[in-house]
Amino acid sequence: MDLGFIGLGKMGFPMARRLVEAGHALVVFDQRKEAVDKLVALGAKAAASPKEVADRAETVLASLPSLQASLEVATGTGGVIEGKMIKRFVDLSTVGSHMAVRIHDLLAKRNIVQLDSPVSGGVGGAEKGTLAVMVSGPKADFEVAKPALDVIGKVFFIGEKPGSAQTMKLANNLLSATAVVATSEAVVMGVKSGLDPNVMIDVINAGSGLNTASRDKFPRSILPRTFDFGFATGLMVKDVRLCLEEMKALGLSMEVAEAVGRLWEVVMRDMGPESDFTSAIKPIEQAAGV
């Protein structure tokens, strides 16, 4: 049975490649023809639009960079909603629960099931197939999609309530966003007083300060000053804003989340949306004069 895959970017490409390598017949589409061509060279089949993917596959996965892109690909003109064969749309993107419910409701009118399936673990996790995959939607459709999702990572069924996997993902990403800026502040404080940042990270990773920024982002991207971890500042800010909206909708006001949100808006302003999110340390260094 053919599977579909739309959105072959930093995350989508390695996920789709793993599916092809695992023996799935994959029909793919991306606005960037070069990404489609690279995957066709590995054995996938090309489609000319999201609709065409959904004409040829019962299960269509997508990994897209914005809420608008997910909405258009799912429900716009030429979207999967017009496909002849599609039964379920598996959105691996982070869109927040409000947008996930909107897409769910529009697809339901055409009897297409949405499996809301955001992922965590970065480009490295997508390449190795070690992502955390959080899924909400009907259990029976989850069981159908699970063998494909098993290829991209460790799969968690969050619940049947539409959008609940997005809430899980935003809780996770609030912690990831916090780890980057909090660890940057801690290291910049040390550097300002004369400590060696390499020694600091070694100590933090052996001590109780250990977190995903100290363990992964500092050694691979921040300490070598390559700033190429593979997640754009604009996407991190999207997730932090979505998390704050989610809290507001729940009637919550949370101090750490709001401070982290303000700091990421500064990173967005100073570094731009296309910068790698590990560049968040730069405005913190600048403010500290180091």
Residue (149 or 200) nearer to ligand NAD, CB:
149
Catalytic residue among 169, 192, 217, 238: 169
# binding residues, ligand NAD (CB under 6 A): 27
Query: Which range, of 64-72, 81-89, 106-114, 268-276, touches ligand NAD by CB under 6 A?
Result: 64-72
Contact call for residue 30 and ligand NAD (CB under 6 A): yes
Among 55, 72, 185, 270, binds ligand NAD (CB under 6 A): 72
Site for ligand NAD in 187-246 (CB under 6 A): 230-231, 235
Cβ(62)–Cβ(89) below 8 Å: yes
Query: Which range, of 119-127, 203-211, 251-259, 260-268, touches ligand NAD by CB under 6 A?
Result: 119-127
Contact call for residue 94 and ligand NAD (CB under 6 A): yes
Site for ligand NAD in 127-166 (CB under 6 A): none
Contact call for residue 4 and ligand NAD (CB under 6 A): no
217 is catalytic: no
Cβ(76)–Cβ(103) below 8 Å: no
Catalytic residue annotation: 169
Binding residues vs ligand NAD (CB under 6 A): 6-12, 29-32, 35, 63-65, 69, 72-73, 93-94, 119-120, 122-123, 230-231, 235
